[in-house]
Amino acid sequence: MYHQPVFKNRRTLLERAEKFISDCYFTDCNLRGRLYGESCPVESILSSLSHKRIPYSEAVKLNYEPYKVGDTFGPTWWTCWFKVVVRIPELWRGKQVHLQWESDGEAMVWKDQQPVQGLTKEGEKSSYILTECLTDSEPHSMTLYIELACNGLFGAGQGSMIAAPDPDRKYSVQKAELVVFNQDVRELLTDFEMLVDIVKLLGEGDQRGYQALFTANEMVNVCEPTNPSSFPVARSLALTFFSQRNGESQHTVHAMGHCHIDTAWLWPYEETIRKCARSWVTVIRLMEKNSHMVFTCSQAQQLEWVKSWYPGLFSQIRDYAKKGQFIPVGGTWVEMDGNLPSGESMVRQFLEGQRFFQKEFGNYCREFWLPDTFGYSAQLPQIMLGSGITRFLTQKLSWNLVNTFPHNTFYWEGLDGSQVLTHFPPGNSYEMKGKVEDLVNTVKNNKDKGRANHSAALFGFGDGGGGPTQLMLDRLNRVQDTDGLPRVQMSSPDRLFSLLEAESSLLCTWTGELFLELHNGTYTTQAQIKLGNRQCETLLHDVEVASSLALCENNAFQYPTTQLQNLWRLLLLNQFHDVIPGSCIEAVVEDALKYYQEIRTVGTKLLQKSCEALVATGQTGVRGQRTEVRVPAVLNTLPWERSEVLPLTDGTTNQPVLALVTVPSVGVVSVKEGSGTPPAVSVKVQVDGTVIMENGILRAVVNKDGCLASLNLVRSNREVIYDGCQGNQFVMFDDVPLYWDAWDIMDYHLQTRKPVVEVLHPIQVLSSGGLRGSVTFTLKISEKSTITQEVILDAMCPYIKFKTQVEWLEAHKMLKVEFPVRVRSPEATYEIQFGHLKRPTHRNTSWDWARFEVWGHKWADLSEHGFGVSLLNDCKYGYSVHRNVMTLSLLRAPKAPDANADMGTHQFTYAIMPHKGTFQEADVIQCAYNLNYPLRLMDHTPGSSTAVWSSFSVSTAAVILETIKKAEDREDALLLRLYESHGSSVSACLSTCLPVREAWHCDLLERVDPSCPVPITEVGIPLNFRPFQIVSLLLYLRQSEPF
Ligand SMILES: [Zn+2]
């Protein structure tokens, strides 16, 4: 019948097939026009608005009023509840019937008091299946509730996705009707779509593409859209094509359903809870129909939310997890930022996450899953291995603006040499659609061809999109093994990584950080969030140390396990990869700051309680060198002795006074007045108005505008400030990125540098010497913004502190402070989690200059042989060191997605510390800790006694005792975490006066290594460290007894 040969005209045949399935052309006669059959309106719709997100049980009690399709409601962030009554016509028996629901906003269908499916237009989910095949016996009438959130998939950006949300947007339902759905048409449409895509993507150079073209053309010939009995012939032609198989060598794509849900971003945390429920209930519906479907789901916090808010759904999730279809992955509490959280925070991400997964799903995750964050710390491989994870999946480096990352499957080697098998899905997306394009790109982009023959493809709409669709599954099913395309199998992370491990001999290794050459503004944006994170990390550290000591010293003390876990979880939540980076809307910032405030309030109370318990230990037993003393006492939570100038309140006059205190390592000391005469600080005002401050270690000359004209390291007589330059120089830049406003600082901003020179108040002396010398001044940045600073030099202190307050009301500007120094080195050093790394100070290659703005934690250092300068800070993360200029990024002023980002008052402190020798020898690391962890004053408790004692000390400065906490699940043990901070192999001895019975090595999940008992000798616990090694110890305590 079809013996006419086709003309050699690829274009007409291809377009013919395209038009046959087009949803805008020829729908009166083409196949697409037959997808839906008869339709009828719903019986009734009522609606009720709620300005809060309320549970179903409250929603059904609302007052409902009639709603007409097309009517608008809102505003943004409200919820409209609909009560929908449907009646399916008798005549539709034998048909598949859908409720078609098209609306702005993200919806959830509730039936019989349970959430049953998400409806999101942007996620191609606008049908709820009422019946697969209508029978006479099933109910034709039912009442559904539809909960409609007044926000889109990506919030409510005004004009563009990342613009600040429009608070007054109106929403509407555009369609609510019952339709007959023709499944046979859908199947055939999918066949056509895949064939057409194969033609297009394989291109004219590939003979398989022509076979697809002729198959599709012949299918159009045989298919009569109005006559379903013609469909099987067409379908069998497609099947013949799809089942022509590959050779054995073909690449395998491991398809996994996924739904990347940002824990907060362009919508608040609270909406995410509903996004999770909408997405996952939709996934469960798909799994019911597709027993082979696999879905990977990360972020313990989101699962915990669903467990609390949707317990029925959570138990279904658990059932499918048991079947191996719903696969928890990632191992962390949230998908956190990979740069800014401290080392201990990162450990806690895994500790809280893995313990949750183990408790709820019976397994620890074996893969770290972080597809979407803005760079990855070089310490992550060691932290992963310590948390039972050997594999890592991400793809964000495909966003690099300058250099193309050279690998997709490789070993990533961290700072200490730990290696994890790493896979970047070559399709460069975590939101694929199961289309031919995704498969072809996965093979084409794979940079490890010949080395790795397996790749992941994560498919499903993210965020509010509700994950995979049946159509995506159908697409992938058709081409499981089709000649010309890679093989596709529904797979799991474990299966993929096991196969990659089995053929890993040719894989390359990437050593050091995975630096994202984009989103470098996120080290600085939303300064209050950065401050909250740093301060709360510090506070929780101190609460844990003080509570652990109180636990050992005071029988009556209850360790605040639950409260601490709650506070940690809040802190970890705010480390999500759009919150701590500052790339979220204003409502999220408000929530985040509220959580930090909660941590501060509760944490401060807990610290106070534990300190009281510690001071009150005299009541339960006194040992060692304890003496009866009058308070106040001071607590040092850091593992070295500190001598610092501390503001106290005079007991008789109630006036603030300064005292120099020396507090032993992880210990307490009482403050004795007038003990010893420290070398004093002198402050001299010169005739030209400049001020010279000197403390025997440093001599600084401060200009009238607050700049450092000179800084001298007295004993070596080394000048720090570069010839003809000034230190502490504030500079402003135009800060207009290409698109990602809150995220990006572009290279060209460096050309817009303008020093801040206008003096509002020239320097005046604030503290005239003795224990403290300080001067203050105010600069004008613009008509609206000012900087007020106190430059502080304390007795015995090796650094100058710059206590800064900025009134900041700018738009698309950036403020930095510069220190041009007399140091020449091709590399600068930056503190990262549990260690430090070097980055170039030159711009030789594209890899070097792409790092014109980098992140670091508490300090950065520029050293040449024998001398260097360190820049310390108490809440900043953005640095740049170019040639000999050390720069700290202070504030930005982006306008999207938060139109008010960073506007207002900011307080922060940074410090400059010149030093002899290396930064290791000069104790720069310790000084940066000191700047961040204030000595804690302990309140006087009348009638009690306190002690002058040190609980722990470490024999070498290279090893830092970072964490002291109660062990998880054990009442009689402490967990200690130490790390090697110099980058050296060392032996150390940990001494303690606490009653330690046994000591064991354990991993970061606190699982004891039975092969690794730790000896306890007369002098303490001997330990060996590799460079940057993290060591966790469990110390079992003797049951408390009088000493
Ligand atoms: Zn994300």
Q: Which string of b and e fits 432-445 if b means at least 16 CB within 10 Å?
A: bbbbbebbbbbbeb
Q: Are 821 and 727 in contact (CB under 8 A)?
A: yes
Cα dihedral across residues 891, 894, 896, 901: positive or negative: positive
Residue 183 has, within 13 A of its CA and on its CB side, a CA count of: 11
End-to-end CA distance of the chain: 103
Classify residue 1005 by its DSSP letter.
T
Q: Are 745 and 401 in contact (CB under 8 A)?
A: no
- The CA 463 to ligand 1 mean position distance, Å, reads 8
Which positions ≥6 away from 506 have C-beta within 8 Å?
450, 451, 452
- The CA 814 to ligand 1 mean position distance, Å, reads 25
Residue 721: both structure tokens together:
């400030």
Q: What is the C-alpha separation between 1014 and 992, in angstroms, rounded?
A: 14
CA 225 to chain CA centroid, nearest Å? 50
pLDDT for the residue 628 = 45
> 691-694 and 698-702 as β-strands: parallel, antiparallel, unpaired?
antiparallel
Residue 1041 confidence class, pLDDT cut points 50, 70, 90: very low
pLDDT for the residue 620 = 34
For 369, phi and psi rounded to 5 degrees? -130, 110
Classify residue 309 by its DSSP letter.
H
Q: What is the C-alpha separation between 180 and 183, in angstroms, rounded?
A: 9
- Which among 631, 487, 505, 504 has a CA at the least distance from the CA of 948? 631
- The CA 577 to ligand 1 mean position distance, Å, reads 6
Residue whose pair of structure tokens reads 């400030």 in the numeric block: 721
Question: Would the pLDDT of 623 be above 90?
Answer: no
Residue 675 confidence class, pLDDT cut points 50, 70, 90: low
Classify residue 913 by its DSSP letter.
E
- The CA 430 to ligand 1 mean position distance, Å, reads 10
Torsion of CA 20, 22, 25, 28, to 10 degrees: 60
Q: Are 784 and 767 in contact (CB under 8 A)?
A: no
Q: How far is CA 304 from CA 309, 310, 389, 569, in A?
A: 9, 10, 21, 11
Residue 295 confidence class, pLDDT cut points 50, 70, 90: very high
Residue 338 confidence class, pLDDT cut points 50, 70, 90: very high
337 annotated active-site: no
Q: What is the C-alpha separation between 300 and 267, in angstroms, rounded?
A: 19
Residue 255: both structure tokens together:
């398809």
Please pick, among 372, 734, 972, 1003, the residue that the annotation labels catalytic.
372
Q: Tens of pLDDT along 747-790? A: 999 999 999 999 999 999 999 999 999 999 999 999 999 999 99
- The CA 955 to ligand 1 mean position distance, Å, reads 43
- The CA 491 to ligand 1 mean position distance, Å, reads 23
> 409-413 and 419-423 as β-strands: parallel, antiparallel, unpaired?
antiparallel
pLDDT for the residue 465 = 84
Residue whose pair of structure tokens reads 């159908």 in the numeric block: 474
- The CA 438 to ligand 1 mean position distance, Å, reads 20
pLDDT for the residue 674 = 53
- Which among 889, 902, 747, 937 has a CA at the least distance from the CA of 809? 902
Q: What is the DSSP string of 395-415?
A: -GGGG-SS-----SEEEEE-T
pLDDT for the residue 618 = 45
pLDDT for the residue 747 = 97
Classify residue 183 by its DSSP letter.
H
- The CA 574 to ligand 1 mean position distance, Å, reads 13
- The CA 268 to ligand 1 mean position distance, Å, reads 14
- The CA 505 to ligand 1 mean position distance, Å, reads 33
Q: Tens of pLDDT along 531-588? A: 999 999 999 999 999 999 999 988 899 999 999 999 999 999 999 999 999 999 999 9
pLDDT, average across residues 394-415: 96
Q: What is the C-alpha separation between 590 and 596, in angstroms, rounded?
A: 10
Classify residue 750 by its DSSP letter.
G
- Which among 514, 509, 51, 439 has a CA at the least distance from the CA of 255? 439
Q: Tens of pLDDT along 343-371? A: 999 999 999 999 999 999 999 999 999 99
pLDDT for the residue 430 = 86
pLDDT, average across residues 733-740: 97
pLDDT, average across residues 163-169: 95
Amino acid (1-letter code) at residue 344: E
Question: Would the pLDDT of 619 be above 90?
Answer: no
Q: What is the C-alpha separation between 314 and 310, in angstroms, rounded?
A: 6
Question: Would the pLDDT of 258 be above 70?
Answer: yes
> Quick check: helix, strand or coil at residue 813?
strand
Residue 533: both structure tokens together:
């994170």
Question: Would the pLDDT of 962 be above 80?
Answer: yes
Q: Are 908 and 890 in contact (CB under 8 A)?
A: yes
- The CA 432 to ligand 1 mean position distance, Å, reads 15
- The CA 302 to ligand 1 mean position distance, Å, reads 13
Q: What is the C-alpha separation between 574 and 530, in angstroms, rounded?
A: 10
What's the mean pLDDT when you consider all of the chain? 95
Q: What is the C-alpha separation between 975 and 972, in angstroms, rounded?
A: 10
Q: Tens of pLDDT along 625-640? A: 444 444 578 999 999 9
Q: Are 1025 and 956 in contact (CB under 8 A)?
A: no
Q: Minimum mean pLDDT among 1-10, 25-34, 392-401, 1027-1036: which range?
A: 1-10
Q: What is the 3-state secondary structure (H, E, C) of 237-250?
A: HHHHHHCCCCCCCC
Question: Would the pLDDT of 5 be above 90?
Answer: no
Q: Tens of pLDDT along 869-904? A: 999 999 999 999 999 999 999 999 999 999 999 999
Q: What is the DSSP string of 203-221?
A: -TT-HHHHHHHHHHHHHHH
Q: Are 468 and 257 in contact (CB under 8 A)?
A: yes
Residue 428 confidence class, pLDDT cut points 50, 70, 90: confident
Q: What is the C-alpha separation between 965 and 810, in angstroms, rounded?
A: 43
Classify residue 180 by its DSSP letter.
E
pLDDT for the residue 184 = 97
For 636, phi and psi rounded to 5 degrees? -110, 115
- Give start and end residues of each alpha helix (H) in 373-483: 380-386, 436-444, 470-478
Largest CA-CA distance found in the chain, in angstroms, rounded: 111
Q: For the packed helices 343-361 and 527-553, what is the interaxial angle rounded to 10 degrees? A: 70
- The CA 576 to ligand 1 mean position distance, Å, reads 9
Q: Which helix (H) or strand (E) holds 235?
A: helix 231-242
pLDDT, average across residues 268-279: 97
pLDDT for the residue 997 = 92
Q: How much of the chain is helix, strand and coil, in % rounded to 5?
A: 25, 35, 40
- The CA 106 to ligand 1 mean position distance, Å, reads 18
Q: Put residue 113 in one of left, alpha, beta given phi > 0 → left and psi -120 to 50 → alpha.
A: left
Q: What is the C-alpha separation between 814 and 629, in angstroms, rounded?
A: 51
Residue 415: both structure tokens together:
């700072």
Task: State yes or no: cis peptide before 632, omega within 30 of 0.
Answer: yes
- The CA 522 to ligand 1 mean position distance, Å, reads 14
pLDDT, average across residues 10-34: 97
> Quick check: helix, strand or coil at residue 701?
strand
Q: What is the C-alpha separation between 522 and 901, in angstroms, rounded?
A: 12
- The CA 276 to ligand 1 mean position distance, Å, reads 14
pLDDT for the residue 2 = 55
Polymer length of the chain: 1043
Task: State yes or no: cis peptide before 1022, omega within 30 of 0.
Answer: no
